[in-house]
Structure 1
Amino acid sequence: MTYELYYWDGIQGRGEFVRLALEEAGADYVDVARGDRGTPKMMDYIHGKHGYDMPFAPPFLKDGDMIVSHVANILHYLGPKLDLVPKDEKSRIFAHALQLTITDFVAEVHDTHHPISTADYYEDQKREAKARSKAFLKHRVPKFMGYFERIIAANPAKSGHTVGDALSYVDLSLFQIAEGLAYAFPRAMKNFDKDYPLVAELRDVVAKRPNIEAYLKSKRRLAFNESGIFRHYPDLDEDPA
């Protein structure tokens, strides 16, 4: 059965973490909002026109009569189905915890350009965004990326992956994080490969996966832009500390 992915058209955003998993697995899926009247169809679910199990916001996934919302929850659901997580329960729960950590980081990325309110334009909160970005680059990137560097190093399988001895959805998400940071903060991330060599190596391994490489070259992979999570505003970038 074809998976239906619901997310805003025109941006990678949070939906990209799910797309990467579906693309890597070669899963049959449709990006609903990119099709005819796709956005109204998506909003019908959010407004409860299809029943009680309405999602709060996109992304959400429809698999038959199952509606699964929130990126980490979607990937926790898809992981075993797409063979993108180890089979044992301990590893699956730990992978979910790592994905939730990525969820926290994505929220902090978003807040670099919208620290006050999503209802206001970036231009209305530039001073606050500058201060938030400075703290983010100095403290939060090292904290999160340093953590994932240690996770890869401590993996008992010594596989270069975050969980187990093979690629997981967490690896795919970490690839997206690394790519997004490079786009949003090219000056600040100048030393990324030196500071986080294991994360950088994993990023490169993911990029060379046949299905991912084909996806990145396709029209399905939208470019980063200033409407998504990762936005490049030169005023927010700075030289490495």
Structure 2
Amino acid sequence: MAYELYYWDGLQGRGEFVRLALEEAQAPYIDVARGHKKSGQGQAAMTSVLNSKTEPHIPFAPPFLKDGDLIISQTANILLYLGPRLGLSPDSDLRYVVHGLQLTIADMVTEVHDTHHPIASGQYYEEQKAPAKARATDFLAHRLPKFMHYFERVLAQNPHGDAHLVGAALTYVDLSMFQLIEGLHYAFPRATARFAAQYPRLAALRTAVAARPDIAAYLASERRLPFNETGIFRHYAELDVPAP
């Protein structure tokens, strides 16, 4: 049976971290909200699960994954579940190290979101532009370097070499790091102009993941939705403060 991935249609968002793992493993999956209503898919199929009166384990919000009767919610939790099934996590307690790094990526993704929605998610960006500018300026000056220096150090201190964040083989957190860096470059092209010089190991990881055959094929396909200003990573020129 194919996995069923539930996420909003039209944007990459947090669902993209799961898509990358499924695409790398060439696992059969259905992107439910992007499907046709006549096939029992589409946005209504997703909201019916969220609003179910009978499902005992309803998720709070997408993304969530259905594997048979099991529903798994939260991006990092979904990847923790999929990792061993897709061959994308270590067959040891190091899987929890991978999970910890994925949770740290999730922390940073939340901070990226808050650069354009620092006051309220229910308000438009245009209603909070001044605080967004202050938040983005602080994020780019302090938080982004703190996170990236940490991840760069994780690569440098991997006893198996700096090709992967954990262990000697690709894990889902390498794919998620690729997506995080891609999103940062889209949202803040001026601030990340010197990224490769500042974080050479992370830049090399990004290049290596993009070159993996199944990932490259996915990135070139229509399945890969483009970044846009409805997702987490949004480009607003006024928020893109050049790096010092």
**Interval of TM-score (by shorter of Structure 1 and Structure 2):** over 0.9
Equivalent of 1:185 in 162, 184, 188? 188
1:33 counterpart letter in structure 2 = A
Q: Deviations over 1:38-68 (max 9, x none)?
A: 1111111111245110000000000011100
Match of 1:230 in 2: 233
Match of 2:132 in 1: 129
1:139 counterpart letter in structure 2 = H
Q: Does 1:144 align with 2:154?
A: no
Match of 2:219 in 1: 216
Contact 2:118 2:135 in 1 (8 A): yes
Q: Offset at 1:192?
A: 0.4
The CA RMSD over aligned residues, in Å, is 0.8
- Mapped partners of 1:101, 1:182: distance in 2: 19
1:238 counterpart letter in structure 2 = V
Q: Does 1:30 align with 2:30?
A: yes
Q: Offset at 1:166?
A: 0.7
Contact 2:162 2:201 in 1 (8 A): no
Match of 1:162 in 2: 165
> What secondary structure is seen at the aligned counterpart in 1 of 2:128?
helix
Comparing 71-80 and 150-159, the one that deviates more: 150-159
TM-score by length of 2: 0.97
Q: Deviations over 1:138-160 (max 9, x none)?
A: 01101111111000111111141
- Mapped partners of 1:85, 1:164: distance in 2: 9
Comparing 197-206 and 42-51, the one that deviates more: 42-51
> What secondary structure is seen at the aligned counterpart in 2 of 1:117?
coil
2:23 counterpart letter in structure 1 = E
Q: Offset at 1:21?
A: 0.2
- Mapped partners of 1:44, 1:64: distance in 2: 17
- Mapped partners of 1:118, 1:176: distance in 2: 22
1:125 counterpart letter in structure 2 = Q
Q: Deviations over 1:66-119 (max 9, x none)?
A: 100000000000000000011002x10110000000010000000000000011
Q: Deviations over 1:180-238 (max 9, x none)?
A: 00000000000000111100000000000000000000000010000000000000012
> What secondary structure is seen at the aligned counterpart in 2 of 1:188?
coil
TM-score by length of 1: 0.98
- Mapped partners of 2:138, 2:221: distance in 1: 36
Q: Does 1:46 align with 2:50?
A: yes
Contact 1:4 1:62 in 2 (8 A): yes
> Gapped runs of 5+ residues in structure 2?
none
Match of 1:56 in 2: 60
Where has structure 1 moved over 2 Å in runs of 4 or more?
Answer: none
Identity of aligned residues (%): 62
Contact 1:159 1:166 in 2 (8 A): no
- Mapped partners of 1:28, 1:214: distance in 2: 15
- Mapped partners of 1:55, 1:144: distance in 2: 29
Decide whether aligned partners of structure 1 residues 50 and 62 sit closer, same or farther in structure 2, where only a CA change above 3 A counts.
farther
